[in-house]
Amino acid sequence: MAFTDAQANAEILEGDGESTAELAGTVVRGDILGYSSGWVRALATVATAIQARCVAAEDGVSGQRIKVYFVWAVIGGRITGATVGGAVYVAEGTSNGMYTQTAPTTTGDCNKIIGYAITPTIISVRPLDITDSIA
């Protein structure tokens, strides 16, 4: 079975680095977020690259302040077909806020490993390295 991110029904099983972020767009629980004139869904695509910085712990809309995890989060419920032990990346194309196990390869894409698959349906995400800046 191929890796699929349904971008729905996410469960945050564990998390650390809890804080809040004011949104500049609509997100769903479990989305990977970045900062680009506000907190929005991350995207790996070079032309509109938004680096991963945190995980949404709840749904929200533009202007709303929601709970997020900056250090790490374990997410279940929205992923199927993950290769256990395989790296997880921010998705590219038009898949804002989604995860993939296919490394982005276009020059300029955000290609940082942000996590690993624990089971075929659970991923552990560590979006922010100590060397990353928030904005």
Which span out of 53-62, 85-94, 122-131 was modeled with the highest average pLDDT? 53-62
Instruction: Kindly write down the DSSP assignment for every residue of 60-116, as one continuous string.
Output: B-TT-EEEEEEEEEEEESSEES--TT-EEEE--TT-TT-EESS---STTS-----EE
pLDDT score at 126: 95
Give one word for 9, left, alpha or beta, with left for phi > 0 and alpha for psi -120 to 50.
left
Domain boundaries, the chain: 4-125
pTM, two decimals, is 0.91
Tokens 């998705």 sit at which residue? 91
Number of helical H runs and strand E runs in the chain: 0, 11
91-106 pLDDT, tens digit per residue, is 988 889 999 999 988 7
40-66 pLDDT, tens digit per residue, is 999 988 778 898 999 999 999 999 999
